[in-house]
Copies of this chain bind each other. A is one copy, B any other.
Amino acid sequence: MSDITNLEVALGSRSYHVLVGEGLLAQAGDQVRRVAPAERVTLISNDTVFELYGDAVVQALKAAGYSVDVVRVGDGERHKSLSAATNIYEKLTSFGAQRWDPVVVLGGGVIGDLGGFVAGTYMRGVPLIHVPTTLLAQVDSSIGGKTAVNLPAGKNLVGMFYQPRLVLSDIAVLASLPAKYALGGLSEVLKYGFLEGKDLLAFVEGNLADVIALRSSEMRQVVAWCCKTKARVVSEDERDEGRRAILNFGHTVGHALETLQGYGTYEHGEAVSIGMAAAAVIGLKAGLTDETTARKVVGLLSRAGLPVRLPSVPAEVIAGSILLDKKARDRQMRFVLLRKIGEPVVTSVPEDVVVGSLGQANHLIDRML
């Protein structure tokens, strides 16, 4: 019970708490009961995560008096689909799930987005509890209420804002993460560092080996730090109409790469890492980001073991995909660029500057390393 960090996402009647600490899976039953008392609960998870932690969570829920039905979804981004959602809806009706029965979503960002969307739309919304099991989900996707599924035309094109009642981030689960997933989350951690300034970034930089190794003592601090930042930004702008856009640093190019390569070639965090490096170059070419800042971004991502070079896709094709994405307007592309570390700016960049920057990006990035 010791060392649980309790953060609030302040959203009026939709406010909720994010708990960060070790051993929270074992408390899941009591914690869920506090926010959603009922007779039964539906646990939505994916195959890999359920193998690792499913029993622990089911036992905790049963110990708190719930009857538990489990829905397992296959692994990977391709299951974040309308057809997967349809399958879950049909299971919920077969369980007799009612509007007050909580849905607990156990897994990473994919299952969080999918399970959140289902919980937000089944019977026009049932109580949702996120139990994120990847670093990426703990520091980012479990907080803030963005839910979504993909369409063939692009990622996250169908979704809604639906806030959970509670987020339980058990740091202990990070120890069993495959390295690929750990790196993805590290990319988001560095994003918070670039956006929020020097303290978090200095801590990560100074403890890079331990952070990459996901050592619990460092991660508890890092995750709580990131969650606090995310909670504050979400409280200021729940529906992503203003300030929250800064959280898209690296995501404009990142999403385009994920769409173009087909889901699954890059982990989300890897695509975002390349996107942040690209945003550093675009900022440099647009005269907004200074060379020291760009070098800091590219260098730290690279030292953390994250990819920074663009794949061999023509710059025009990447730009075309960005224009189709929901962040584009009037053939101006909205980018989050860094004036300096800790000073993000949301700005429009003309198509030709984007294309020109992307065309030169790998050359410039190689020179910074």
Q: B153, A326: Cβ atoms under 8 Å?
A: no
Q: B158, A89: Cβ atoms under 8 Å?
A: yes
22 CB-based A-B contacts, threshold 8 Å: A82-B85, A82-B86, A89-B157, A89-B158, A90-B152, A93-B157, A96-B324, A98-B328, A98-B329, A99-B326, A120-B160, A121-B121, A121-B159, A121-B160, A122-B158, A123-B157, A123-B159, A123-B326, A124-B160, A124-B161, A125-B160, A160-B160
Residues of B with C-beta under 8 A to A269: none
With CB as the reference atom, state the residue of chain B lying closest to A85: B82
For chain A, the count of residues having a C-beta within 8 Å of the partner chain is 34
With A98-B326, A98-B329, A328-B98: A93-B154 Cβ-Cβ less than 8 Å: yes
Chain A interface mostly: mixed
Measured CA separation A333–B148 after assembly (Å): 33
Q: B152, A124: Cβ atoms under 8 Å?
A: no
A100 contacts chain B at the CB level, 8 A cutoff: yes
Chain A, 288-338, CB within 8 A of any chain B CB? 324, 326, 328-329
A151 contacts chain B at the CB level, 8 A cutoff: yes
A146 contacts chain B at the CB level, 8 A cutoff: yes
Interface string of A79-91 (1 = CB under 8 A from B): 0001001100110
Residues of B with C-beta under 8 A to A96: 324
Q: Say how far A37's CB is from chain B's closest CB, in angstroms.
A: 12
Q: Say how far A104's CB is from chain B's closest CB, in angstroms.
A: 19
Instruction: Identify the interface centre among A85, A120, A158: most chain B CB within 10 Å of its CB.
Output: A158
Contact of A100 among B86, B123, B125, B329 (CB under 8 A): B329
Residues of B with C-beta under 8 A to A124: 146, 148, 156, 159-161, 240
